[in-house]
Structures are given as structure tokens and as C-alpha cells.
Chain A
Amino acid sequence: MNLTLKIWRQKDASSKGQMVDYKVTEISEHMSFLEMMDVLNEQLVNSDEEPVAFDHDCREGICGMCSMYINGEAHGPDRGVTTCQLHMRMFKDGDTITIEPFRAAAFPVIKDLVVDRSSFDRIQHAGGYISVNTSGNTQDANSIPISKHAADTAMDAATCIGCGACVATCKNSSAMLFVGAKVSQYALLPQGQVEAADRVRNMVAQMDLEGFGNCTNTGACEVECPKGISLENIARMNRELMKASV
């Protein structure tokens, strides 16, 4: 395949960015999207131009590092995948592909397609944990049985990879799907109950402080989330917050 790429280039956080056109040729449909980007970058290095900076690491859809906004969608046109799992067979010979960074006020651009998602970490610092000592003097793991249903539902929430697609895709740049998933995981497990009220209050307060917008139930986040995190988690977070406020 031969493709035209329109890519956002921005030298650093304080510079102005712009779209730049590139051509790539002989792209195989078996390549992943990031392998296609590797081909472009190899081409740029060989002509002594600066390659396009983008975040990636595991290339297995699990670390949450890769973050491209492709043709107007977070992680591109395929459903339920991250950019590293997106394959070129989703595109056609001659296509023009627009590639931008995830955009949100709380995700400032660092360079080209790389954005700063440390706001997610700070929300976790505010309460995304269970306060247990790590010294190993805990009780036997089977002493509190947990129903399979609760464990599975907690696991579903816990699969969030913190990629930020939900934020990038939301017209309000809301982080509620991410925060909801985290709050849910702990709310569903007995171990998380003790601090539940403080947790949800603190995490939501931090989320607001970071400049994420509010949820208006558009549901775009659920559609674009590579891990199928459901809107139910937002509802559960709101219930938890309500409980914590009465």
C-alpha cells in the first residue's frame, strides 16, 4: 500500500505545532500501525530528518502507552484495540491518514504525538489504593471469600489500561470512565470498603482539579475504550460519591 500521512508535528510543549504531510510506500497489510510508523521514521532518519516522536512500549495492547488520534478517532478505526494492535488491513491503498496527539487540556503535548498523562497518576495518588502495609503480615487470602461475580466485575473494571482514549474522545474531555473504573474495582471488593467514602471523594476532587471536564452521558468514551470499560462504572462512581456525601 502507498499512503499519505498528515501528522501533527510540535517541537515541544511551548512551540506551536502544525500538520505535515509525508508519503510512505510498500506498506504491508500485516503491519501494525506502529510498524508503519517505524517505516516512516526509518525513512526520516535516513534523510537526516527528525523522526516523529510517539509513545509506545509493550506493543501488545496492555501498557497503555501508545496514544494516537487517527482519522478523528482515539486509537483509530478498529474497535476494542489500542493503536499498537491496529493493523494496516483496516486501511486501503492510496488512503490519506490524519494522525494527531490525544488532545485535552489536562493532557498537554510534550512533543509531536507524545502527551503528558501524569494527571491520571495524580488522581491515583489521591486515593487509588487500599491502605494496607506491604510488609507481609496480612491474613490468609482465602479468609474473606469473594463471590465470583464480584471478583469478575472488579476484574472487568480493573482492566483499564490508563491510556486516556476516553478523555481524548470525549467532547468535554471528561476522565470519568477512567476514574469510575478505578473507584469501581475497589468498591466491589470487601478490602476496599473501609476507605470507600474518602477514596471516591478525594479522587473525584483531584479529577476536577486537574481540569478534566464533566460527563454529559454522550457515551463516546465507552465506544472508543480499547478495553470495553462500561458506562456502568461511571454510574457506580456517582452512586459511591452520593453515598459518601450523605
Chain B
Amino acid sequence: MALNSKVPKGPIKDKWTDYKNHINLVNPANKRHIDVIVVGTGLAGGSASATLAELGYNVKAFAYQDSPRRAHSIAAQGGINAAKNYQGDGDSTYRLFYDTVKGGDYRSREANVYRLAEVSANIIDQCVAQGVPFARDYGGLLDNRSFGGVLVSRTFYAKGQTGQQLLLGAYSAMNRQIARGKIEMFNRHEMLDVVVVDGKARGIIARDLITGEIERHAAHAVVIASGGYGNVYFLSTNAMGSNVTASWKIHKKGAYFANPCYTQIHPTCIPRSGDYQSKLTLMSESLRNDGRIWVPKKMEDVMAIREGRKKPTDLSEEERDYYLERRYPAFGNLVPRDVASRAAKERCDAGFGVNATGEAVYLDFKSAITRYGKEQAKIHNIENASDAKIYELGQKIVEAKYGNLFQMYEKIVDQDPYKTPMMIYPAVHYTMGGIWVDYNLMTTIPGCYAIGEANFSDHGANRLGASALMQGLADGYFVLPYTIGDYLANDIRTGKISTETPEFEAAEKEVSERINFFVNNKGTKSVDYFHKKLGKVMWDKAGMSRNGTGLKEAMEEIKAIREEFWKEVSVPGTASEMNPELEKAGRVADFLELGELFAKDALMREESCGGHFREESAELDGPQKGEAKRDDENFAFVAAWEYKGEPADAVLHKEELEFNDIELKQRSYK
């Protein structure tokens, strides 16, 4: 099947308006006769469910947690972008569009990103109207901060808990619709397959995670909002239950999977400390506004610190290598995530890592605390303030800005970051790849949509900070509600979809057989054993830097782990009860297939791009020496994979990317 992105014709700034003026609408009386299934209640699924219900459709929403409010989106810390230009620092729709396309290393779809920038301002208005308590300045107006990779302050935030507040906003909008009977909420339910009838998505098979019952649910359209697949690495900043199952199942039924190898590695996470570790904790990137990143200049100081003979605070300014400020003077500590992550890895690989594992750099707030302290002393007319007083005053300001993050760090690491610099290291965080969708957010299965982190379209090879929340809410509140109507307008005479059809029967049977296999297999190894093994191969060979040989090995090794998994996996308990091991088994089975496709995609992409450093592709000389080398001539396309059985047999379809409004340039932050 040829890929048709369905991007509307015309100037980029008019595309979305023109599109909306010409699509088919569903008359309100008819919406009552149309059912929509939404899988996932994070920012994308929650906002979509509420809005579709508001419009009049009957929505059935699914989440594996016990309440929509607990979706993974709740964990987002830093903030959400919007081109409001409240600060008057020159922001505009075009600039947000430009920064996002450039930040994504020119691998996103221009038209989608422009639309995102266009609706971004609405998101803030909407959320404020819903009672989201964004930070305010003393004049009562909304406050902003800046984030990595941009030169304007366009990030709105609610302390370090922006995702939580935005999700609670969407959840409250859902609650209103649940109370009105327009949303039927299925908590603790997991979608395990999609049902396709006459080529169209017409329902799903779900498992009730309390009783184990397998259920059929029919609808006129299915929306996948199930989030990202970073947990393919086992260790990531994602919630423990985040998984690829919903996306993978629709992939197997005909939805193309785009750019699976695009993973964001976030630069400011708490380093790993031991084998027992179950997940990695992110420290919001907003910390880089005030924190300076460094490692010692001299190897002997590194050794002395590792052995506990010296403390980081013992080192003078001259003995420290502020490597981001040194290499990227224009952006300094605020370079985008991929650049900051690669630079940290480079220093650690060169032996300058400051903790026992050699995988940590410092994030230091000393200068900021002193700077703020002096400012405060002036404001309060304190003359000749002592260093201690200045520190105390400055610490208060830093605490107001990042207090909960500092507290979280202290709880985990058992060190006080006001007194000694934090240690950070990059970790798997977000997946830019996902289900391929056209401009309507429809997958290659008619009637099946993918929104939020589950789709691929807006972030390219690298995601700038504070843009995932924006995309999730843009898709759910403002884009999908229009585009899905265009499709559903043809369905007003279809009537109720029956679940008593051979297609539902077959899908249910397949799901049951798989579940029964797991509980009857009686192997010798736990699900986590396989997940950890997969994660190690992924990190070592398909992580931040990769090469052809390693990726070929990874494909072989993942296949072997998969084969062993299907022989040896052991799942205690039964299928007809709450059984968390069984849930994990199904998810890991899908990760084991995705992992191989991931490596295959990375192998094909013989360029360095975003956070993905392909060792064969680096700048050899000139001012960019050693930086990642993108290859626009050969790789300015979206890789959309079609399922053909074994992941190794997947077939590549290319969507060539067109850039009419932005010139492709070397991405320099020097």
C-alpha cells in the first residue's frame, strides 16, 4: 500500500483552517448513534475522550490503571510549550514551529508540526478555564520558563508537577462526561487486540484485569492513545506498566510502525546504582536553567572523588570542565536533550564519570544560589551580607523553583543537593517513533487512529522539552475531534456494530489461546529475566550510539531471547484472576518482537540523527568535528514498516519528507 499523508494543499499557515472549513461534519443528533473506543486515558486519550463525549459521541475509554488519573502522563515534571508570546521575547507560531522541526533534526512532518504550534495557545486557555493552577507572577499573570533547545520563554508550568496538573484537568473533564453518561470508563482493563471488519477497525478485545474475563467491545472507530514504548529497554523513566501492546497489536493487523528506532535519551536522570533497579528517575530538564553541568578536568581528581578522598565542592572553578558551556557557547547548558546526552556520554566514556560506575556527571546549583542570594540581598537592602546569608537567601529561591525535585533527589540518593552537586546521567525517556498516521491521525487501518506518544508524526528524531504534553493535548482536545468526524460522517447509517461476528470470534480466540499458553507453560524462568536480558541488548547495541555490526548482532540476539522466552517462560497463577505476572508476560512478548524491528530500523538508518549516534556517521572535520552527521540526501524520510510475520521480514515503506517552509540546515548550537 502506498503511503498517503493526506497533507492538505496550500500555504502552511492556512492548511489547518482550510481543512477544517471543508471536512464533513456529523450532525449532533447522529453523533448519539456513533460509538468510539479510546484506549488510554493519559493526556492524549483523556482529552480526546472528554472532547468526543462533549461533542456527543458515545465513548468507551480503557486504561490498565485503577483510575484515569494515574496514567503515565501524571509524571511529567517540567512544563508545556505554547506560542503565547506573553513574555514579549519574540515568540510566534512560526518560531515554535521552526524550533520544533529543527529540534527534531528535520525528521518530522512539517504540516503536523505547524498545526501543533498553531493550536498550542488554545491549550493554555483551555486548561486555565478547567482550573489548572499554572504558576503565576506577582501581577497575577501566567509565568513562563525556558527549556532546552530554545531561546524564548514559552514553557508554562505548575511547579515540577505540570503533567499531573494537566492530566487532572483532562481527568476532571472526563469526570463531567462520565457523570453525564457520555463516557463509559473501563478501569483495570487491558486492550489485547483490535478487531477489523471489512477492512475497518470495529472494536477491540480487552481483558478485565480483576476477573481475567475476556471481553468484546465494538465501536465505529478505535483510537489508540496508549503512550510510548521506552520500557523495551527494561530500565527507563517510564511508568512500570507502560508498554507497546496496543500499538503492536494494531501493527500486526495492518497499521504501519514508523521510525521505531527513534528514542529519546534524557540527559538529567538519576544514575543507576545496582542490578536490582526497576526504573530510572528523571530530574526535570528545567533544572538546566539554573544548574551548571561539569566533570573534573583532571583524571586524578576524578579518581580522588570516586575513592572518596575529595568532594566535588573541593574543586576550584579552574579545576572543573563545564563541557557544555565550553563546546556550545551560544546555548551552554541549555542545548537540546540529544546534544546534552551525547556530550555526557562522551565525557563518561573518556573516563571522567564521577560515581562508582563511571556513569555520572555533576549538575551544580552553587552559582545560581549565589546569584539569587546576591539579588535578594539587594532587594531586601541587606548591606555586606555574609556568604552564609547570601547562600540562605539564594537557597530559598532555588527551593521555591525546584523544591520537590531536590527533595525527590535527596530521598533516592541520600545526599543534599543544596550542599553538594547532583549526579546525573542520560536515560531512556520518550519514544518519538510510533504508529504511522496521516494528517488526520488515522493509521493505515481505516477507522483506527493513534494519538499522543503512540503516534510518530510531530517530534522527528529528537523531542524538545515540554513538547510531548503539548502534542498529547493538541491531538486530543483540538485535532482528533475534527478529523475523526470527517471519517465518521460516512458511518451515520451503519447502526450498532455487533460483537457476534466471526471477526470478533477469531480475535477473542487468539487472545485466549495466548493467555492460556502462558499460564500452562510451566517454564523455568520469570518474565523479568527475559525483559532484563532484552533491555541489556537494547542498551548496549541499540542505545545512544550504535553501529552496523552491533545492530545485526542485536537482531540475532533478540530473536534468540524470544525463542527461549516462548519455551522457558513461567507464569504462576491462573488466567481467571488478577495476575500481574500474566499481564507482564503479554507485554514482554510484544517488546521482544518490537525490539527486533527497532534494531532493524536502526540498522537501515545509516545516519546520525537526533539522539541516535550512528558511529559510522560523524563529522570528520570543520567546526562541527565529532558531532553527529545527518544525511538528508538519503534519509529525509519516515520509515514505515509493514508487518509480515517475523520482525526481520517487515517491509519498509518510505514517506519522503518535504520541507517547503524551513530550510534543512546543519543543527548547530555553538
Interface residues of A (CB under 8 A from B): 11-12, 28, 30-32, 34-35, 38-39, 42, 44-46, 48-51, 53, 55-65, 78, 80-81, 85, 87, 89, 110-111, 114, 116-118, 120-121, 124-126, 128-136, 138-142, 144-148, 151-152, 154-155, 158-159, 161-162, 185-186, 189, 191-192
Contact = CB atoms under 8 A, between A and B. Distances in A.
B512 interface: no
A186 B526 CA distance: 47
B75 A62 contact: yes
A161 B161 CA distance: 11
25 contacts: A38-B528, A45-B570, A58-B239, A59-B239, A60-B75, A61-B408, A62-B164, A65-B65, A87-B412, A89-B414, A110-B578, A121-B175, A124-B171, A125-B178, A129-B176, A134-B51, A135-B54, A136-B478, A138-B129, A141-B134, A146-B140, A152-B133, A155-B165, A162-B67, A191-B130
A45 B522 CA distance: 11
A28 B129 contact: no
B497 to A, nearest CB: 26
Contact of B131 (A49, A87, A116, A191): A191
A134 B126 CA distance: 7
A158 B172 CA distance: 12
Contacts of A155: 133, 135, 158-159, 165
A145 B66 contact: no
A56 B158 CA distance: 24
Contacts, number: 219
A226 to B, nearest CB: 11
Question: Interface on chain A toward B: helix, strand, loop, or mixed SS?
Answer: loop
B223 interface: no
A145 B143 CA distance: 11
Given A120-B67, A159-B161, A129 B578 contact: no
Contact of B65 (A31, A63, A80, A146): A63
Given A48-B572, A118-B187, A191 B128 contact: yes
Interface in B94-142: 119, 122, 124-131, 133-142
A39 B171 CA distance: 34
A63 to B, nearest CB: 4
A129 B172 contact: yes
Most chain A beta-carbon neighbours within 10 Å: one of B178, B179, B276, B526:
B276
A141 B136 CA distance: 11
B178 A134 contact: no
Contacts of A111: 577-578
B566 interface: no
B86 interface: yes
B275 to A, nearest CB: 10
Given A134-B173, A162-B67, 12 more contacts: A35-B278, A51-B581, A58-B75, A58-B240, A89-B414, A110-B578, A118-B67, A128-B172, A134-B47, A141-B124, A142-B141, A154-B131
A94 B149 CA distance: 50
Nearest to B572: A50
Nearest to A155: B133
A186 B50 CA distance: 19
B4 to A, nearest CB: 28
B465 to A, nearest CB: 17
A113 B240 CA distance: 17
Contacts of B407: 80
Contacts of B6: none
B578 A114 contact: yes
B51 A135 contact: yes
